[in-house]
Amino acid sequence: MQRYFVPRDNWRDDRVIITGEDAKHILRVMRMQDGDQIICSDNGGRTSLCEIVELGGNIVEVQVVKDVETQAEMPVFVTIAQGLPKGDKLEYIVQKGTELGAVSFFPFAADRSVVKWDEKKAVKKQERLEKIAKEAAEQSHRSRVPEIQKPGSFSDLLKMAEQYNIKIVAFEEEAKQRESSRFASVLNSASREDSILCVIGPEGGISEKEAISLREHGFVLCGLGPRILRTETAPLYMLSAISYHFELKG
């Protein structure tokens, strides 16, 4: 069943007003009619089965039939801090990372980031990533859309890290030395509802200087198995491992 995230301000008790691109999608792509049903989420925890009661212009009004329980959110809160990669890799990371359960993404300019975003480009990129996260959250039946944080610097990353009680860095030098236990040990020490910050470097990885600074700020430097992963693979590996540990391992 089609799902849509609708801002809380558009909810009127048992009625929901859908506008903008979502309304156009219902009207022109899905070609829905009165009586058709959809799922609406307010991005704050409420998810409801709704029935279309009025179609007009670029507005769709639906009636809440019943609230539904969802269990699609990870029991831990994972943020992916991604060193700016080249091309459209960040879009891929946000899309797949949303499907795998990340609650937020923080793009940052790392020492080895080739890509540079000026303020104007950063605003457009953030808007694009927010759209991708919303669509991916709808597709994967999540009850919340991950936050796309404003791109920042390495110093911003260190300040943000103070909010997290578990901090992990994917560091390929550890993988080269066949270090394979720290990531598992960190997850074994974690509890449900912990906040976890995962840092991944761009192409070329985290620099030695950054690694030293991160370690000094309480990060655990981890190898991710015996193979060297691409920058767009590493965050998905970490999210998959965290999901397995907390959701499937039992």
Provide the whole-model pTM.
0.93
Q: Quote the pLDDT of residue 173.
A: 75
User: What CATH number does residue 106 fall under?
Assistant: 3.40.1280.10
State how beta strands 15-18 and 11-12 pair. Answer: antiparallel
- Structural domain contains residue 23: yes
Domain, as residue range, for 91: 77-248
Of 30, 48, 67, which residue sits at a domain end?
67
Q: Tell whether 156 and 195 lie within a shared domain.
A: yes
Query: What does the alpha-carbon distance between residue 239 and residue 229 come to, in Å, rounded to a whole number?
Result: 14
Q: Quote the pLDDT of residue 176.
A: 56
Of 37, 67, 97, which residue sits at a domain end?
67
Q: Tell whether 102 and 221 lie within a shared domain.
A: yes
- Per-residue pLDDT 10s for the chain (250 aa) are 999 999 999 999 899 999 999 999 999 999 999 999 999 999 998 999 999 999 988 899 999 999 998 889 999 999 999 999 999 999 999 999 999 999 999 999 999 999 888 888 899 999 999 999 999 999 999 999 999 999 999 999 999 999 999 999 999 776 556 566 899 999 999 999 999 999 999 999 999 999 999 999 999 999 998 888 999 999 999 999 999 999 998 6
Residue entry with tokens 């909810």: 11
Q: Tell whether 21 and 111 lie within a shared domain.
A: no
| 202-218 confidence digits (pLDDT tens) | 999 999 999 999 999 99
Q: Tell whether 211 and 93 lie within a shared domain.
A: yes
Q: Is 83 helix (H, G, I), strand (E, B) or coil?
A: strand
The structural domain count of the chain equals 2
Q: Tell whether 145 and 99 lie within a shared domain.
A: yes
Q: Tell whether 164 and 146 lie within a shared domain.
A: yes
User: What CATH number does residue 25 fall under?
Assistant: 2.40.240.20
Q: Tell whether 143 and 240 lie within a shared domain.
A: yes
Give me the DSSP letters along 181-224: SHHHHHHHH--TT-EEEEEE-STT---HHHHHHHHHTTPEEE--
Q: Tell whether 244 and 145 lie within a shared domain.
A: yes
Q: Tell whether 148 and 63 lie within a shared domain.
A: no
Q: Tell whether 60 and 150 lie within a shared domain.
A: no
Query: What does the alpha-carbon distance between residue 80 and residue 108 come to, in Å, rounded to a whole number?
Result: 10
Long-range contacts of 238-241 (CB under 8 A, 24+ apart): 238/78, 238/80, 238/168, 238/170, 238/183, 238/198, 238/200, 239/78, 239/80, 239/97, 239/100, 239/101, 239/102, 239/198, 240/100, 241/183, 241/187
| 5-49 confidence digits (pLDDT tens) | 999 999 998 999 999 999 999 999 999 999 999 999 999 989 999
- Structural domain contains residue 72: no
Of 17, 32, 67, which residue sits at a domain end?
67
- Structural domain contains residue 164: yes
